[in-house]
A and B are shown apart, each in its own frame.
Chain A
Amino acid sequence: MIKKLVSIAALILIITASGLAQDLVLKGGTVLTMTNGTIKNGTIVIRNGKITAIGRDVLIPAGIKVIDTSGKYIMPGIIDTHVHYALTGMSDINEATDPVTPQIWMKDVLIPGHDSVLKTLAGGVTAVKTMHGSANVIGGVNVTIKLKYNAPVEEMIIQDARQQLKMALGENPKRTYGQAKGKTPSTRMGNAYVARKAFIEAREYKAKWDKYEKDKAAEEKDIIPPKKDLKMETLKQVLEKKLSIDCHIYRADEIVWMINFCKEFDLDLMQISHCIDGYKVADIMAEAGVSYGGWVDSWGFKEEAYDGNPWGFKIMFDAGVNIVVNTDSVSPGVSRYLFLDVAKVLKYNDLPEIEVLKMITLNAAKALEIDHRLGSLETGKDGDIAVFSKHPLDSFTKCLMTIIEGKIYFDYTKDSITVKGGNHE
């Protein structure tokens, strides 16, 4: 009995101790909430990884670690909706052997202790979508993760996020197959055919399984389960809307084609990645409820990218498109200064500052369907926070601290080269 009590007490202690690590108070500073304006000299209380209180006059519970953030800027953790890091390596991004590979899952190659995670945290980024490449019309399933450095993979993956299948149209699948491999697709017609054929097969596959499940439920005799096909299993999940889609597209005509294709097959298209021509069909994207997920000013680096246009953001904003600025970072690239990159939107467009910050926070969370947990600083949301020395859109700012669920993952005073005896030494 005593033994049992001791073990229970120990268990409680462990739970409390682990809970304590997820408790934190940020006191003072300018809080950019994204949804409820800016709070000057605000306080944020995080308990068990969630924000429990936020405001100017907030009671600070006893026994919680308090960090003085006065004079600093506090914003939700930055979210990058298109990256290719936190994984084994470049050779594991594209399964470029077949234009249809939905059986591939990016979650299988994650490395939570990868250096790219650590380096990205230093830019205030707390969540990313690690994606399959664009070699295939239907690529693998992406994985939305939090940058919990060195945590177990299961904890890194945002479990209640609907994951997204990567698709790609335009030149990349054409270039990968076509003349290079003597295989369809070599044209945009081929891309369309490959996508349509796969989903028609998936519908047939689903119908067979649905019938089987129905017969099984009705306890019919002598029923044989159809053959499992892992490619079709994934596409069946897309048809069932257990997975959504992120499609790599540059040209306007293909954006429209993809929106129509998803209507035809009743699929949930969440984000058009790169979306170079998005501004040309902003109204159609807004109506379809699909997010722009691209760069600010990249253009010209390939023929289909020629009309990339930083002046197009106002058109998209006015049309009501959910605008997300992401990076396509590999190692980990622009992700480390996404706040600086997004500021360029204001160089070319007359938009409110807060709307620009949403492009790397709340809008990104919406595109990933995790806005119930992330993207803004509100009671009940996850304690995922970036602390900056100046306003995040001031180009002389730097990230001082990155917090995920109340735990400090990056601390300038420990990780900077300027600090003697820092973590890097």
Chain B
Amino acid sequence: MNKKAYFISGLFLFFLAAITAFPQETILIKNGTIVPVTGKTIKNGDLLIQNGKIFKIGTDIKAPSDAVIIDASGKYVYPGIIALMTAVGVTGYPGAGNDQNEVGLVTPQMDPYDAINPEDNTIEVTRMGGVTTVHTTSGSRNIINGKSVILNLEGTLAQEMVIKKYAAQIFNIGVRGENKYPTTLSGTVTLIREKLDQALKYSEKKNEKNSKENTTKRDLETEALVPVVTGKVRAIFLTNDEVTLRNAISIINDYNLKGVIQAGKGIYKYADKLAEEKIPVIWVATTAGPGRWEPFDKYFRAAGMLAEKGILFAFATGGFGGGSYNIRNLPLPAAISVAHGLQEEEALKALTIYPAKILGIDDMLGSLEAGKMANVVIWTGSPLQMTSGIYKVIINGKLIPKTSVQTQLRDKFDKIVRKRMKKKK
């Protein structure tokens, strides 16, 4: 290569870098079936994105001169899926380590934001499944696990990805100590109450003027629970049966918490109570195996039951650690639920606007509305159909490259296998 060629290719690389570093700010999606989820579906609709936000939705929107135009004819435009209770961003790649579940039964001070790795391969794999936002937790193996963080699956640094820090505190009522207090469920429930009492006291002391203790040492563990007991931060309780569910409801009521319950098999027994108390539900057990004397479709039908009772609910896979690799399969339990009685519109909402409501971010995400953050996914069909593919992913107004560690492996081995086959012939 001569100097000129070097110069030209260098220039090309520079522009390529420039395009990547300063993504297009204006995108016009044309002629798609637009499903805003909160409003009516628009056929042959257009959607204009500017400065990271949805600027306008309608028909025959004129393209601004700087707009990148995406032809979505025959395609379907949906808000990005919001996945609750994930480990995306902290699960890492081989050798990077898994950073959930700090040692100890009570670790409310742990914050997954401190461990977010933008190079985590689950980020690109998950968004290629139409999930644009995740709620990543500190873990689930402790009784009081720690904080959670809401992330957009886009950005090169944690601070670019974050939407909301300390979105919730994660309690797991099903956890017990191994050879140390508490080894029983009643012990776990009592311990949670003790810790919440401590936090209330700590908060009162802090508020007392001229209090001696105000100047004493800070207690980071207790301090982390103060926003929970003062109702500023959500408390998510993980339950797995009727007893843990019942206790979660009492604790939420007794301490007047901004409570959310992740529910499993106990759901039928307490659905009316949850509806009455207006406690939102993260439903994780659609595919759970029914018990010996339970009908095969008992949990296939639970989401439909929740919707009928008017309970605000969202689907989650309930998969921490290992399960977080396939957060992209969140539509699967929703599809099963539709086959077994849930309205299709409700199923879509329970993947988008409902999780946004549960997290308190529905003013900025969860539906296609002017003014909202532009997390938009163009599908080849309904996201509820397992056969539907991803056509385009836009997060925070940026068009995301359609690649992941998996497409790279496909491209690499497609060549290798074909080459070997050619050689044999």
Contact = CB atoms under 8 A, between A and B. Distances in A.
Interface string B145-170: 00000000000000000000000000
B322 A309 contact: no
Contacts of B407: 311
B387 interface: yes
Chain A interface category by residue count = 35 or more
Chain B interface category by residue count = 35 or more
Contact of A315 (B125, B344, B417): B417
A119 B296 contact: yes
A311 B420 CA distance: 19
Interface in B330-344: 331-332, 335-336, 338-341, 344
B289 A331 contact: yes
Contacts of B290: 119
Contact of B335 (A115, A396, A415): A396
B99 interface: no
Given A282-B417, A415-B295, A416-B295, A300 B387 contact: no
A108 interface: no
Interface string A296-326: 0111110100110111101100110000000
A340 B296 contact: no
Contact of B413 (A280, A389, A424): A280
B289 A394 contact: no
A416 B322 CA distance: 32
Nearest to A310: B406
Contacts of B322: 300-301
Interface string B279-314: 000000001011011111110010000000000000
B410 A309 contact: yes
Contacts of A315: 410, 413-414, 417
Contacts of B344: 396
Given A331-B289, A336-B296, A309 B122 contact: no
A311 B406 contact: yes
B417 A337 contact: no
Contacts of A344: 329, 386-387
Contacts of B414: 314-315
B121 A395 contact: no
B410 A333 contact: no
A319 to B, nearest CB: 6
Main SS class of interface, A? helix
B421 interface: yes
Contact of A279 (B297, B331, B417): B417
A283 B339 contact: no
Contact of B326 (A122, A298, A337): A298
B183 interface: no
Given A300-B121, A394-B385, A398-B339, A340 B406 contact: no
Nearest to B324: A300
A312 B296 contact: no
Interface of B: 91, 93-94, 121-122, 125, 287, 289-290, 292-298, 301, 322, 325-326, 328-329, 331-332, 335-336, 338-341, 344, 384-389, 406-407, 409-410, 413-414, 416-418, 420-421, 424
Interface of A: 115, 118-119, 122, 279-284, 287, 297-301, 303, 306-307, 309-312, 314-315, 318-319, 331-334, 336-337, 340-341, 343-344, 346-348, 389, 393-398, 415-418, 422, 424
Instruction: Give me the 6 closest cross-chain CB pairs, A-B, nearest first.
Output: A300-B325, A122-B296, A343-B386, A395-B335, A311-B410, A424-B295
15 contacts: A119-B290, A279-B410, A283-B421, A300-B121, A311-B409, A314-B414, A319-B421, A340-B335, A344-B387, A393-B387, A395-B332, A395-B335, A395-B336, A395-B385, A424-B294
